[in-house]
């Protein structure tokens, strides 16, 4: 099934754009994340917790719980997500690079989680284990990598197996991409206007950030068409008070927000 998903993604995003780079990275990371979490939860019979701890986690701490075995998850993702990327062409090289960038993101963001033990919450001992970050954090990190993706050019080399295509950074003045960066070699289509062929819904009526100079800002997202501004009244909980014991009571406040949308 996983192989079918990656095959479908390649057909859904035929161009070698930065959007394709992001999709391959996030999909590959998703496979590794799901396998790793399944192992830790005990829902898979072929894997379990990671027992390869590197020394004590710190003073007053000890290893416990179930450390998530991200190395195993990455190994499974590499086996399945890269299964079709064995061609000697540029697109296969690009996909494999971006798949690995997505998986590496999980390994780079593994962190310690700890739980206190002791009388009356004294926390005399902390039990710690390695855990993956929330997948939302992985997505946010890869979104930053999407924004700074490196444009490449295709080079052909003659080898014993025939012609092989490789990728080289297009601009020598820029720092070459690392294994953690996303790469692409074709320009993205114009997403400003609706286009059923590319699946673009356009950016009209999209909410934009009037203070941002990034891709979510009204200048870029609205493609120079300008934006409309309206006010919205939203009901929110406010002036919350904790009552002993044990509930919280809140008032309901009406707050006014400015909402900006692309023309």
Q: What is the average pLDDT across 137-143?
A: 95
Residue 166 has pLDDT above 50, yes or no: yes
Between 173 and 131, name the one with better pLDDT.
131
Is residue 119 domain-resident?
no
State which residues form the domain around 108: 2-51+68-112+130-153
**Share above pLDDT 70 across residues of the chain, in percent, rounded to a whole number:** 92
pLDDT tens for 64-118 read 889 999 999 999 999 988 988 888 889 999 999 999 999 999 999 999 888 888 7
Mean pLDDT within 140-164: 88
Question: Are residues 81 and 202 both part of a single domain?
Answer: no
Please report whether residue 121 resides in a domain. no
Q: Is the pLDDT at 12 greater than 70, yes or no?
A: no
Q: Nearest CA to 102 among 84, 88, 81?
A: 81
Same domain, 7 and 91: yes
Length of the chain equals 263
Vertex 195: Cα angle to 85 and 153 (nearest 5): 40
pLDDT band at 15 (very low <50, low <70, confident <90, very high): confident
- Which domain CATH number covers 243? 3.30.2460.20
- In a domain, residue 168? The reply is no
Count how many domains the chain has. 2
Nearest to 24 by CA among 134, 182, 200, 164: 182
pLDDT band at 4 (very low <50, low <70, confident <90, very high): very low
pLDDT at 94: 95
Distance set, CA 65 to CA 25, 42, 173, 257 (Å): 29, 13, 48, 45
Q: How far, in Å, CA of 218 to CA of 74, rounded? A: 38
Please check the confidence at residue 13 and state whether its pLDDT lies above 70. no
């Amino acid at each position: 099934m996983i192989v079918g998903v990656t095959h479908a993604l390649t057909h859904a995003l035929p161009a070698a754009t930065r959007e394709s780079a992001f999709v391959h990275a996030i999909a590959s990371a998703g496979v590794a994340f799901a396998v790793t979490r399944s192992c830790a939860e005990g829902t898979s019979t072929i894997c379990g917790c990671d027992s390869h701890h590197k020394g004590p986690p710190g003073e007053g701490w000890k290893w416990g719980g179930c450390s998530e075995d991200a190395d195993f998850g990455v190994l499974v993702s590499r086996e399945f997500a890269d299964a079709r990327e064995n061609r000697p062409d540029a697109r296969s090289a690009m996909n494999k690079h971006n798949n690995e960038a997505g998986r590496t993101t999980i390994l780079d963001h593994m962190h310690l989680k700890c739980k206190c033990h002791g009388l009356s919450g004294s926390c005399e001992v902390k039990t710690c284990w390695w855990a993956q970050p929330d997948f939302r954090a992985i997505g946010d990190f890869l979104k930053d990598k999407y924004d700074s993706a490196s444009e490449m050019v295709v080079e052909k080399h003659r080898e014993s197996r025939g012609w092989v295509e490789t990728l080289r950074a297009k601009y020598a003045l820029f720092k070459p991409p690392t294994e953690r960066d996303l790469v692409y070699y074709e320009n993205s289509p114009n997403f400003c206007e609706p286009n059923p062929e590319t699946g673009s819904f356009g950016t009209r009526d999209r909410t934009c950030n009037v203070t941002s100079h990034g891709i979510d800002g009204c200048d870029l997202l609205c493609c120079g068409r300008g934006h409309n501004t309206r006010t919205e009244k939203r009901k929110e909980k406010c002036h919350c008070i904790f009552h002993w014991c044990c509930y919280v009571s809140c008032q309901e406040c009406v707050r006014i927000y400015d909402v900006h949308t692309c023309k």
